[in-house]
Structure 1
Amino acid sequence: MKIVVQVRLYPDSVQEAALSATLKLCNDGANLASAEAFGHRIYGKRELQRLTYGRLKALGLSAQPAIHVVRKVAGAYATLAANTRAGNLGKPGSKRRVKADSKPIQFRRDAGQPYDDRCLSWQLAERTVSIWTTSGRLTRVRFGCSLQQHATLVAYRRGESDLIHRDRKWFLYATCDIDDVEVKEPDGFLGVDLGIANIATISDGKRHCGKRLNRVRHRNQRLRTKLQRTGTKSAKRLLKARRRKEARFAADTNHCIAKQIVTEAKRTGCGIALEDLKGIRDRVRLRRPQRVTLHSWAFDQLDRLIAYKAARAGVGVVHVDPAYTSQACSSCGHVAKANRPNQFTFRCMSCGLAEHADVNAARNIAARGVADWAAASLPNAA
């Protein structure tokens, strides 16, 4: 499996100027190639390279960076096409889809640029890199990372790395190819119910409460609204400084929750059953305040973090149909809307089971995980 290790670069003033000029030129070249691709309706890497390689070289790009610029543009159009097919840009004729299809893709002047081992070499023992720029090769550019990240780079770094400039800081995103871990046959499943009042509830009864998290989100939302209404230079400066704060907070919280879930599953020899929530934002109809709450937390990110951590630990993961998991009794299977009189309470109208609503839903997800895993294993058994 492939993972990405983020390390921070610490260039001096001369090196930083060279890196800035390089990113600008690469993205100017990407915009040129994008315009040619859009105008000629040529989106394949080989065809686009034949069309634009000479002009990219004339801009001042070396051979390998020019090829990577073409690949970046082709990849961007491939992503656009995939999003269009998946309906992520709306239905045909919608404003968002028409806007995306009516003009070439534009790249920011500091958008990331991929580097291969010809243009970027790592001196891991010295914690420095040598990197190509338009001003020549920069050597001994320092980078910083944790001991765990350094060990991962030494053992598994393979392939390309992306140069990123964000918030006046420089980063390298290094691709690491880690050996696949054999997934063990699970001895049961831990069901995970995702929600708003409780971010994640496990079928063993443990709940990751969302009260503190919701309080932080609401405070950030009120502050953003206040600053946007003020509109002064200092307010805009503060908004810019805080714009990634909630995203970092959400990512850190999701990492911690995912790690705890996977650790418990590995300890008990269980697999992990998750709800398949794709398209939930299109299916669910809520009032405006509820929509803000629903859309402000990265449930898909938590799902992906659990999946990749489980893959590294050899823990099986299955996604199940979430329909009626909150209304069905985990004991007798009776399904009724009246089984759930409020947000937190589940009381079966048939057998009388009383349980926390999210715990009951998580147990239903766990049971479906067992059934789906068994069904998926039948062809292999034959």
Structure 2
Amino acid sequence: MKLVVRVKLLPTPEQAAALEATQRTCNESANWLSVRAFEGGRTSRAALQASAYTELKARGLSAQPALHVLRKVADAYTALKANLKAGNVGKSGTKRYRKATSKPVAFRPDAAQPFDDRCLSWRVSERTVSIWTTSGRMKDLAFTGQNAQLVVLASYRKGESDLLRQNGHWYLLATCEIPETALNVAPDGFVGVDLGIVNIATTSTGTRYSGRRLGRHREADRLLRAKLQRKGTKSAKRRAKRRAGKEARRARDINHKISKCIVAEAQRTGRGIALEDLTGIRERVRLRKPQRVTLHTWSFRQLGTFIAYKARRAGVPVVYVDAAYTSQECCRCHHIDRRNRPSQAVFACQACRFVEHADLNSSHNIAARGWSLWVCGAESTASVLALTA
């Protein structure tokens, strides 16, 4: 499986200036090529290379960086076509659709630029890299990172690395090919994970990851952001942007910690993980306005993605179950009734009088559905193998 390791570069002022000039030249060339591709209607890699390779080299790019610019532009138009076909930018004729198709794809001056092993070489033991720039080869460019990530980088790096500038700092994003652990094909049940607003995640083993403290931080951030937006000055906008980045980093860190704990628990007990299929949840649910803000701003999809890739790396099976009525169904007698939820935190079955914390009850239902789905899938696979034998 592929993972991305991010290391922070530590350039001198002269090295930083050379990196900035290189990134700016590459993205200016990409914008020039994008306009040409848009006007000519030829956006494939082969067509762009045949018509613009020589001119890109004349703009200050050597052979490999010129090819990377060609591929970056071609891939951008390929992604645009895929999004148009999938309806991700609205229906044909809408304002959003017209905006996406009426002008060339544009690249920011600080957009990431890919480098391969011909124009970027790593010396992980020395913590330096040698990288191509428009002013010549730059050697002994220092970098730093977490020790665990550097071990992964030294052992499994493979393919391209992206040069990225973010908030005045320089980073390299390296692709690593990590060997996967053999999948546990005979799990001893499943750990059901219920995702929510008050409790970010609740597992069927009884672990709750509360979001109350985090909610207070997020509410304070939301109020400050609204205040800065009302002010509208340049300094207020800069501060709002920094706060938004801080919120995103906090959410990402919390999601990483929660997903790591859930996967570790499932691996230790020899179980799989059952998650709710929350596709389209924002359109389906009806909530009060304060809850709507929380639902639409918390990255539940990111948490599910983190759980999935960590589980894959650990060999833990993951299944996605239908989320319908998991909060209204009794995990004991399976009676479904809206009155089973007298409050947000309490589940009280109207049929068998079973009482439990609502999120824990939901997680038990998710675990049971995950096991049923796994058994059905295993049986169908076994029958196919028997027929082909």
Instruction: Tell me the TM-score normalized by structure 1.
Output: 0.96
The aligned residue for residue 159 of structure 1 is 159
Runs of 5+ unmatched residues, structure 2? none
Q: Deviation per CA, 1:237-291: give whole Å up to 9, x if none.
A: 4223323000000000000100110010011100000111122223334454433
The aligned residue for residue 30 of structure 2 is 30
Query: How far did residue 198 of structure 1 move?
Result: 0.8
Q: Is the 8 A contact 2:180 2:314 kept in 1?
A: no
Q: Is 2:261 the partner of 1:235? A: no
Superposition pairs of residues 1-382 of structure 1, within 5 angstroms: 1-184=1-184, 185-381=186-382, 382=385
- Measured in 2, the distance between the counterparts of 1:68 and 1:376 equals 43
Q: Deviation per CA, 1:300-327: give whole Å up to 9, x if none.
A: 1101100111111111111111111111
- Measured in 2, the distance between the counterparts of 1:31 and 1:283 equals 40
Q: Is the 8 A contact 2:193 2:273 kept in 1?
A: yes
Query: How far did residue 30 of structure 1 move?
Result: 1.1
Question: 1:221–1:63: structure 2 CA closer, same or farther, 3 Å change rule?
Answer: same
3-state SS, counterpart of residue 283 of structure 2? helix
3-state SS, counterpart of residue 301 of structure 1? helix
Letter in 2 for 1:78: T
Q: Deviation per CA, 1:328-351: give whole Å up to 9, x if none.
A: 111111111111122111111111
Q: Is the 8 A contact 2:197 2:291 kept in 1?
A: no
Runs of 5+ unmatched residues, structure 1? none
- Measured in 1, the distance between the counterparts of 2:40 and 2:366 equals 50
- Measured in 1, the distance between the counterparts of 2:90 and 2:345 equals 35
Displacement over 6 Å in runs of 4+ = none
3-state SS, counterpart of residue 181 of structure 2? coil
Question: 1:43–1:353: structure 2 CA closer, same or farther, 3 Å change rule?
Answer: farther
Letter in 2 for 1:25: T
- Which sits farther off after the overlay, 42-51 or 28-37? 42-51
Cα RMSD for the two superposed structures = 1.5
Overall identity of the aligned pairs, in %? 57
- Measured in 2, the distance between the counterparts of 1:106 and 1:77 equals 11
Instruction: Tell me the TM-score normalized by structure 2.
Output: 0.94
Letter in 2 for 1:307: A
3-state SS, counterpart of residue 243 of structure 1? helix
Q: Is the 8 A contact 2:221 2:243 kept in 1?
A: no
Q: Is the 8 A contact 2:327 2:358 kept in 1?
A: yes
3-state SS, counterpart of residue 227 of structure 1? helix
- Measured in 2, the distance between the counterparts of 1:98 and 1:74 equals 20
Letter in 1 for 2:79: T
3-state SS, counterpart of residue 304 of structure 2? helix
- Measured in 1, the distance between the counterparts of 2:41 and 2:290 equals 43
Query: How far did residue 100 of structure 1 move?
Result: 1.2
- Measured in 2, the distance between the counterparts of 1:152 and 1:80 equals 33
- Measured in 2, the distance between the counterparts of 1:368 and 1:37 equals 50
Q: Deviation per CA, 1:90-134: give whole Å up to 9, x if none.
A: 233332222112211110001000000001000111100000010
- Which sits farther off after the overlay, 305-314 or 280-289? 280-289
- Measured in 2, the distance between the counterparts of 1:78 and 1:273 equals 34
Query: How far did residue 200 of structure 1 move?
Result: 0.4
- Measured in 2, the distance between the counterparts of 1:297 and 1:218 equals 12
- Measured in 1, the distance between the counterparts of 2:195 and 2:267 equals 20
